[in-house]
Amino acid sequence: MQFNSTIKAFFISGLIFLSLSLMIQFTDFDLFISNLFYLEQEQQFILQSNKWGRILHDYPKYLSILIGLTFVFQSLSLIIKNKKLFPFSNKQIYFVSLMFFMVPLVINALRYFSLMHCPRDLIIYGGMYDYLRIFDTAPMDWQAGQCSPSAHAGSFLPLVSIVFIMRYKISKALIMYALIFLLTSVQILRGAHFFSHIVFSILIANVLIFIVADWMKIRQSPRPQEDNLGL
């Protein structure tokens, strides 16, 4: 992995982050998207109290976690018994396992310091709190909403690291990000996240994957290469 790729990923992700931040600060873009799925008469979002909302939220997430646990157990098997099931190098398997820990951890840590509330908690959608934009100064008695970036998206984004260790192409990564956005957009329909919350998670994960891949010197090779447990 060349360091230039990491710099490029950091620059592009940073540019998208800044552009989106300015857009949601000075326009009602986030509100516009959420309004499309808000039922005014029922005073709730279209999948907020719907069983399909819970199903589309829970089961895809469980599948992603299962895939992550499979890589983690494979890593443990390599360390303990040196047995391999996947057609990847040891280092690549460790990399994917690490991403399934690191991406959710970093996203949840950033979410902990977030002041913004989720859509369904806002007064305009029947909740109790005002809408706070990303660069707004919060009042002294403000209760942190801890809603951005999206932790739900963080449970899917490590899957991109699997695409990364294969014959990586930008088109494949973009398709994977699009699929993940589609899966996590159920949170917009449930009033649990704004559009920007999910995109912020994608940008964070993208930077993390490139940084760690560069640090571990991950190579995208079609054949596994043994190298002392990949360390």
Is residue 138 in a domain? Answer: no
Task: Give the number of domains in the chain.
Answer: 1
Q: Which whole-number Å values give the CA distances from 95 to 78, 154, 198, in the listed order?
A: 13, 16, 23
Is residue 101 in a domain? Answer: yes
Dihedral pair phi/psi, residue 38, rounded to 5°: -100, 125
- Is residue 47 within 8 Å of residue 53, measured between CB atoms? yes
Is residue 225 in a domain? Answer: no
Is residue 41 in a domain? Answer: yes
Is residue 13 in a domain? Answer: yes
Contacts of 128 (CB under 8 A, 6+ apart): 121
Q: What pLDDT is attached to residue 92?
A: 93
Is residue 183 in a domain? Answer: yes
- Is residue 107 within 8 Å of residue 154, measured between CB atoms? yes
Is residue 87 in a domain? Answer: yes
In a structure prediction context, what are the per-residue pLDDT tens digits for the chain, which is 231 residues long?
A: 455 788 888 999 999 999 999 999 999 999 999 999 999 999 999 999 989 999 999 999 999 999 999 999 999 999 988 878 888 889 999 999 999 999 999 999 999 999 999 999 999 999 999 999 999 999 988 999 999 999 999 999 999 999 888 876 778 889 999 999 999 999 999 999 999 999 999 999 999 999 999 999 886 544 444 444 333
Q: What pLDDT is attached to residue 220?
A: 58
Is residue 61 in a domain? Answer: yes
Q: What pLDDT is attached to residue 3?
A: 56
Q: Which whole-number Å values give the CA distances from 209 to 34, 41, 145, 177, 225, in the listed order?
A: 29, 43, 27, 13, 21
State the residue range of the domain holding 172. Answer: 3-133+145-216
